[in-house]
Chains A and B, each alone.
Chain A
Amino acid sequence: MAGHATDKIVVRNLNAWYGDFQALKNINLSIKKNTITAILGPSGCGKSTFIRCLNRLHELRSDAKIEGEILLDGKSVFNMDPVEVRRKIGMVFQRPNPFPTMSIYDNVAIGLKLNGVRDKKALDRVVEDSLKKAALWDEVKDKLNMPGTSLSGGQQQRLCIARAIATNPEVILFDEPTSALDPISAVKIEDLLVDLKGNYTVVIVTHNIQQAGRVSDYVAFFWMGELVEFGKTAEVFENPKEELTEAYLTGRIG
């Protein structure tokens, strides 16, 4: 299976463990550049584990093990420095998690500062730019020095998105970014995801079938650590090839 020219990430024979428990079994799929790929599946099927393998966060757990190949632009991420991988593949977590000891400004700027950017003007520009992209600028521009945790849950999550895009990654992983939010905040973030698609490759884990239908171009359906079905969202939703997928989409299992 040679990677297509527009494949941003290619996953081959990926297996992942927590101790003796195998959470991912032989996953193969390709994620296309500048698309949104949704990862669907019931709780505990390995969705988070999967995206945490992509940016090598999985390996931080002391009992974690990983086998197989993940290519980013054709290069194995396992041959790259994890720091470099994570600069290219950003992440937004399920629970909004701004750094509580940092201001709104610093939450967005920290990634750049770690990359060695010291120029105040450049930082100001990127912070403003990222907050605008995350549709948060107007709400926080007058209180950039307040702690990041002083915002509402939905605002915090948009702050985390701004934080992730500030370092200008190529891929952004979202782990159920709206599951802790109210419907209005959720819609804002969905709109944002679609906006991001122009410049980034997006992978989003979600429990929400409608959400996957609204935002994604491709969808991968996981079941008990296995990839059951993968394809264009419209095709999979209209014509699931697998019995399990259909059962999940129609709400009979899950």
Chain B
Amino acid sequence: MKRARGDRVFWLLAFFSSLSVIVMFTLLFYELLSNSVPIWKDGMSFITGMVWDPLKGLFGAFPFIYGTLLTATFAILLSTFLGVGIAIFLSEIAPSSLRVIISSIIELIAAIPSVIIGLWGIFVLAPFVRDNLQPLLQHLSFIPLFSGKTLSGLSMLTAILVLTFMVTPIVAAIAREALLMVPEDLKEALYSLGATRYEVVRHVCIPYARQGIFGGVILGYGRALGETMAVTMVIGNTPSISASILNPGYTMAAVIANEFTEATGDVYLSALIGIALLLLLISLAVNLVGRMIVWKWQQEG
């Protein structure tokens, strides 16, 4: 009797906690939607609008969508590369003493408040981009991606690097966990066929751990899309659409944080809330697509 009652209490508790998450999410979504109604009156032109000039009453969200997707995508590509590399090094190559040290450093980096990383971006990274990377990439200026320049070093490239720095530890830590789950005897089976360490990593470890690694990448992408503080400190906050990552830009999260308190007028406010809604939808879409890919892998066995 008593035990059955305990069971039911536990069940109810679990049920209402899950329910409350769903309720809160629905409320959030509803709140964003209802508060951004004025801006949706023109429908798609808010999303495709290229000009953001609140003083003239022009509210085009595209520069922010562009800046967010561009910086986050480049950052996650770099982070995947670096993070998986670090994870392979940690799980397969490094001697155990080094493993502990590097793992703790990575965890430490992941715990740095983003405003501090932003400061580092302003004081260290931006001058580095201006004095070293910009002159270097000048040689590639025939490629539109590298055609601009700034005097301050505050640019989308700087934001990409800051994001890479923040997201790589996430990817590395999750990929490492996934790689450590690879059964020892599978690795030994390939070694016993005369495989090199590189071949074992490539043909056994990565295929086996790909779901976990991919999960880390999706999580990191979500983080990069939503990161606000550090990005707004280094990206230059210019709502323009430039093909060159050496030019300044702006992101959705950054504009919301910067302009929300000074937004005057219903339309201005609703435009910012509209951007918040779009950011939420993009993050959800990334997560959903990620889940679908993992699900498809699982179906394949």
Contact = CB atoms under 8 A, between A and B. Distances in A.
B54 interface: no
A114 B199 CA distance: 8
B113 interface: no
A46 B107 CA distance: 39
A20 to B, nearest CB: 16
A99 B195 CA distance: 14
Contacts of B96: 62
A91 B193 CA distance: 8
A73 B16 CA distance: 71
A84 interface: yes
B301 A149 contact: yes
Interface size bucket, A side?
20 to 34
Contact of A57 (B183, B191, B203, B210): B191
Interface residues of B, number: 21
A99 B204 contact: yes
Contact of A115 (B188, B194, B203): B194
A87 B191 contact: no
Nearest to B300: A147
Of the listed residues B191, B196, B207, the one surrounded by the most CB atoms of chain A closer than 10 A to its CB is: B191
Interface string B197-235: 001000110011010000000000000000000000000
Given A99-B204, A110-B203, A147-B301, A90 B192 contact: yes
A47 interface: no
B190 A84 contact: no
Main secondary structure, interface of B, reads helix
B139 to A, nearest CB: 38
Of the listed residues B96, B185, B188, the one surrounded by the most CB atoms of chain A closer than 10 A to its CB is: B188
B261 to A, nearest CB: 52
B189 interface: yes
Contacts of B194: 83-84, 86-87, 111, 114-115, 167
A110 B203 CA distance: 9
B191 to A, nearest CB: 6
B207 A93 contact: no
Contacts of B204: 99, 101
Interface in A89-138: 90-91, 93, 95, 97, 99-102, 110-111, 114-115
A164 B193 CA distance: 7
A160 interface: yes
Contacts of A150: 301
Contacts of B183: 97
Given A93-B188, A95-B185, A100 B208 contact: yes
B95 interface: yes
A158 interface: no
B28 interface: no
A8 interface: no
Contacts of A110: 190, 193, 203
A94 to B, nearest CB: 8
Given A149-B301, A150-B301, A86 B208 contact: no
A86 B191 contact: yes
A111 B195 CA distance: 8
Nearest to A172: B192
A55 interface: yes
A7 to B, nearest CB: 22
Contacts of A99: 186, 189-190, 203-204, 207
Contacts of A114: 193-195, 199, 203
A83 B190 contact: no
A60 interface: yes
Given A110-B203, A147-B301, A164 B195 contact: no
A163 interface: yes
A150 B300 CA distance: 11
B185 A83 contact: no
Given A101-B207, A101-B208, A90 B193 contact: yes
Contact of B185 (A87, A93, A102, A163): A93
Given A57-B188, A57-B192, A60-B191, 19 more contacts: A57-B191, A62-B96, A86-B195, A87-B194, A91-B192, A93-B185, A99-B186, A99-B190, A99-B207, A100-B301, A101-B207, A101-B210, A111-B193, A114-B193, A114-B199, A114-B203, A150-B301, A160-B189, A164-B193
Interface of A: 55, 57, 60, 62, 83-84, 86-87, 90-91, 93, 95, 97, 99-102, 110-111, 114-115, 147, 149-150, 160, 163-164, 167
Interface of B: 95-96, 183, 185-186, 188-196, 199, 203-204, 207-208, 210, 301
23 contacts: A57-B191, A83-B194, A86-B191, A86-B192, A86-B195, A90-B192, A91-B192, A95-B185, A97-B189, A99-B204, A100-B301, A101-B207, A102-B207, A110-B193, A110-B203, A114-B193, A114-B199, A150-B301, A160-B189, A163-B189, A163-B193, A164-B192, A164-B193
